[in-house]
Amino acid sequence: MSAFPSTRIDAYDWDAIAGDLDREGWAVLPGLLADAECDAVAGMYGPTGAFRSHVHMARHGFGKGEYRYFAYPLPPLVEAARICLYPHVAPIANRWSERMGMAARFPADHASFLARCHEAGQRRPTPLLLEYGEGDYNCLHQDLYGDHVFPLQVAVLLSQPGRDFTGGEFVLTEQRPRMQSRASVVPLGKGDGVLFAVNQRPQRGTRGDYRVTLRHGVSTLRSGRRHTLGIIFHDAA
């Protein structure tokens, strides 16, 4: 499996994506992976040296289903996607951080950000591959793995809704201060990515920006099998 050209990522309308993120807290990246790339990544799932750990979600109360964290070195396609996406999302992360009155600022390239994680003891790779079967689901959660948190992450759907599985929708909730939560169901096809806030994002209100807290998960699969590639930019302690 070769690394895909960064031109696919560079060609997205990043201003429109930033607008979606500011309004909704998430944006779709259509066709982030080609059909054959999805199959190649999903086909890696299994007890091999490509992964550093294996999690049964039910054992931890995370839901039902399983996932594996990739080991370093990451598969070239996963590595390329993480590196190529980062420079486009770092400016959005910096604007959010500033608007939320947070001190964190993020360097322009992923290698510099990873060096910061590694110096702080967050050295374990976080990209992961998830596998769900009938009846499986992923409870609403946040992927925080230490003090250093990059505020946006990507999940790529590797299976075709309606054909490979039914149910199993990617869902997000936004918890607004002193208000009821808002839910979104993200419409994804095979190969589409969703870019979304890991923890918090700024929301413009009548008296300036306030923070909303996001959680994401997957609704129960009614049938079939579903794979997802998760790309998280910070490493884990």
Ligand X SMILES: O=C(O)CCC(=O)C(=O)O
CA separation for the pair 67, 46 (Å, rounded): 10
Residue 131's SS3 state is: strand
Please tell me whether residue 143 binds Fe ion under the rule CB under 5 A: yes
Peptide bond into 151 cis (omega under 30): no
Nearest distance in Å: CB 143, Fe ion: 4
CB-CB contact of 159 with 43 (8 Å):
no
CA separation for the pair 20, 125 (Å, rounded): 28
CA 86 → CA 80, 105, 195, 205, 218, distances in Å?
10, 13, 11, 28, 24
CA separation for the pair 78, 41 (Å, rounded): 9
Contacts of residue 144, defined as CB under 8 A and 6 or more positions apart, other chains included, come to 198, 199
CA 201 → CA 109, 175, 208, distances in Å?
21, 10, 13
Beta carbon nearer to Fe ion, 6 or 142: 142
- Find which of ligand X, Fe ion, none residue 130 binds, CB within 5 to 8 Å per kind: ligand X
Nearest distance in Å: CB 10, ligand X: 23
- Find which of Fe ion, ligand X, none residue 170 binds, CB within 5 to 8 Å per kind: ligand X
Beta carbon nearer to Fe ion, 39 or 143: 143
Beta carbon nearer to Fe ion, 98 or 143: 143
Nearest distance in Å: CB 198, ligand X: 9
Nearest distance in Å: CB 148, Fe ion: 17
Q: Which residues bind ligand X (CB under 6 A)?
A: 130, 138, 143, 155, 170, 216, 218, 228, 230
- Find which of ligand X, Fe ion, none residue 65 binds, CB within 5 to 8 Å per kind: none
Of 155, 138, 135, the C-alpha closest to 62 is 138
Of 163, 167, 171, 106, the C-alpha closest to 140 is 171
The residue number whose beta carbon is nearest to ligand X equals 230
Nearest distance in Å: CB 203, ligand X: 22
Nearest distance in Å: CB 50, ligand X: 17
Judged by CB under 5 A, the chain residues 178 through 217 that form the site for Fe ion are: none
The residue number whose beta carbon is nearest to Fe ion equals 143
- Contact residues: Fe ion, CB under 5 A: 143
